[in-house]
Structure 1
Amino acid sequence: MSSVEYPDGRPEDHPFAGYFLPYPDQNWGRKGEGFVSTISDEPPQLNWIYVDRDTHEVKYGDRAESEPHIIGPWDVTKMDKRVTLEGWEGFMAVRYGPREWALYFDRDDDGLKGIIDPEMWTMEIELVRRERKQEKPDPDDE
């Protein structure tokens, strides 16, 4: 598989491919689960999606990296369309500079006051869940 590059030479990031999975030693019941994503195809690897307890930035890492932070419960809205954390949709995009954005969770619902520089641009966003299209199976694979 060849690597795709942007016009400025940066390699393309690995596409997000997330799904819900029970987080070890957590039982949120009907409230949700943990959230994982692939971070590479070769070799195949998963990391937990979490929110940094201090900065409120959405990050990913292995279990040891994620455990001290906000690990869930992750879920979706009633119509299975939008992603929630801790029962609500408090996600924000924060602009650091030209073409530099990061995903945050506004846990305190205060516009990330005291968390980010007030001069930074922010935008409330929705994380929309979209399933991958199922392709017709190849009969040779059966």
Structure 2
Amino acid sequence: MILYTKIVLGVFMMTAMVPTIIGVNEASKGTRNHEERRRESARQQRCHLSVQCMPLDGSPQQGLATHNAKIYITKSPSPQLSPLHGGFYQYPDFSPGNTAGFVSITGETPPTVRWIYLDSQTHEMRWGGKQDTEGNICGPFDWTQDEERITLQGWEGWLAVRLPHDEKKAEELGLEDGPGLWRLYFDRHDNGADLPPGAEALEVTLKRTVAQS
């Protein structure tokens, strides 16, 4: 009889707790939904990307040349340089509803939205139309847990690279500071990205800054 009474009391207590449990679950679900909507909205905001040098990597001169430098895109040999102005976007070859691609508005006339992708042969980051992305790495792009830095394929393998003889390329782009031309690479296999002899490379991160317009 005592055991029976305890069982009934336990059931009674559980019954009384059900509304509280449901309320907590609903509140938790509402918080998760709100956070998901916030993240989705934040990912849709257009942004600029700037280089952040890794501590103690490279010389002081290299650090001064690259740290806080904004990422630009250009259609060579045009002298026009356009700051990367874009963000996460649904890439058609990934799962439905993804925001794992990355796009930017270019300086073309008229301005055009183009895909940002990794050249699978050279390991240099490039931009172009959908046909240009074929056979190359188009993501998944993501952000770090603090939502401040950009990742590709789950990690930050970014390199700022200065190639030999890039002074001529700088002239084509209308840059007065030839040595100030650095390219963005991604060390996909963590083996140095097979850079050509004489290239300078710095490990960097890409900071995401929301564009004001």
| TM-score, scaled to structure 2 | 0.53
1:65 to 94, 113, 132: 132
Structure richer in strand, relative to its length:
1
Match for 1:108 among 186, 189, 197? Answer: 189
Q: Which has the larger radius of gyration?
A: 2
Counterpart amino acid of residue 22 in structure 1 = Q
Partner of 2:200: 121
Once the two structures are superposed, residues 41-67 of structure 1 have per-residue CA deviations (whole angstroms, 9 ceiling, x without a partner) of 741311100000111000001000012
1:24 pairs with 2:73: no
SS of residue matched to 2:94? coil
What is the TM-score with the length of structure 1 in the denominator? 0.77
1:16 counterpart letter in structure 2: L
User: In the TM superposition, what is the alpha-carbon distance from 1:106 to its structure 2 partner?
Assistant: 0.2
Say which structure is richer in helix.
Answer: 2
Paired positions, count: 122
**Residues 1-142 of structure 1 aligned to structure 2 (within 5 Å):** 11-27=79-95, 33-40=100-107, 42-96=109-163, 97=166, 98-112=179-193, 115-133=194-212
Instruction: Give the Cα separation in 2 of the matches to 1:41 and 1:77.
Output: 31
Cα deviation digits, residues 18-39 of structure 1 (max 9, x gap): 2111101311877x51000001
Is the CA contact (8 Å cut-off) linking 1:28 and 1:73 kept in structure 2? no
For residue 12 of structure 1, report the CA deviation from its aligned partner. 4.2
For structure 1, which runs of at least 5 residues remain unmatched after alignment? Answer: 1-9, 135-142
Q: Secondary structure at the match of 1:128?
A: strand
- Please name the residue that 1:138 is paired with: none
Unaligned ranges ≥5, structure 2: 1-77, 167-178
